[in-house]
Amino acid sequence: MVMPSKTGPSIVVEVDGHLIVWTDGLLSGEKSVLAKIRENASYNATIRASYSLHPLTAQLTDKDDRVGIVAAMISPNAERAIIRELDEDTLRRIFTMPGESEESVLRAQGLSTSD
């Protein structure tokens, strides 16, 4: 029997060929990659990824800050990290500037259906 996650859906990221998984506040994966993730999160590193419109801050202490968790997970190699599993709400927040509405982002990308 699979137990549901207490902190939300799992996050799965591939970094340099290694799968890193965040479930219920715990990271698992390749030890050397986890060490780099924890190091970057320990000083709230600023992560810049080409697919994000704004810099992301790496963190692991606030389980509700899933964008920060993703930032920490991609931090060892942000440009080549592949997000394999992520809930839609967190994904939207990565692609939206703080304080910006989802509709304005879609409009800027020519994807808005409203007039």
Q: Residue 27: what residue type? A: L
The answer to whether position 104 is within a domain reads yes
Q: Is the pLDDT of residue 3 over 60?
A: no
The answer to whether position 1 is within a domain reads no
The pLDDT score that the predictor gives to residue 93 is: 85
Alpha helical stretches, state H, 1-115: 31-42, 66-74, 88-95, 102-108
Q: Is the pLDDT of residue 6 over 60?
A: yes
The answer to whether position 56 is within a domain reads yes
Number of domains, the chain: 1
* Confidence label for 9 from pLDDT (cuts 50, 70 and 90): confident
The pLDDT score that the predictor gives to residue 47 is: 93
The whole domain housing 53 covers 11-108
The answer to whether position 54 is within a domain reads yes
Digit-coded pLDDT (tens) for 51-82: 787 899 999 999 889 999 999 999 999 999 99
